[in-house]
Structure 1
């Protein structure tokens, strides 16, 4: 199954993002338990915070549908979402 690297670039509304963080993380936890989220976490480098998610899905259409259900998407704290299909060659996500 294809793996996708999703890079979120967060907007300036840190308060709204922090208030919604528990729901965002619960959404990710559900996807992790389903085997869709392979790894995720914040990108803390300045000047623009963001997040990186490694997701497994049948295709880009499925990824887009999943991301639309992220609580962060519904409150508008994501300024940019970059989705790229990724082919892991080495490591725990490689598909030999």
Structure 2
């Protein structure tokens, strides 16, 4: 299954983001349990806060459908999203 690296850049509304964090993390947890998210976590706040999510999905469209369900998307705290195909050569996500 193809692997995708998704990066979020968060906007300045930290309060709304923190209020929505439990539902955002539950959304991630559900996708981890389903084998869709392989890993995720916050990026350093410099130069701007964000997050990294590693997805296993059939294609980019499937990743984008999942991202549309992220509670952070519905409350508008994501300033930008990048979805890129990724070919892990070494490590736990690499394919033989």
Q: Normalized against structure 1, the TM-score is what?
A: 0.98
For 1:5 and 1:61, locate their aligned partners in 2 and report how far apart those are by CA, in whole Å: 13
Deviations 1:22-54 (A, max 9, x none): 000000000000000100000024120000000
- How many equivalent pairs are there? 96
Matches within 5 A, 1:10-49: 10-49=10-49
The corresponding residue for 1:76 is 76
Gapped regions of structure 2 (runs ≥ 5): none
For 1:24 and 1:81, locate their aligned partners in 2 and report how far apart those are by CA, in whole Å: 15
Deviations 1:43-77 (A, max 9, x none): 02412000000000000110010000000000000
Q: Normalized against structure 2, the TM-score is what?
A: 0.98
Give me the CA root mean square deviation: 0.6
Deviates further, 39-48 or 77-86: 39-48
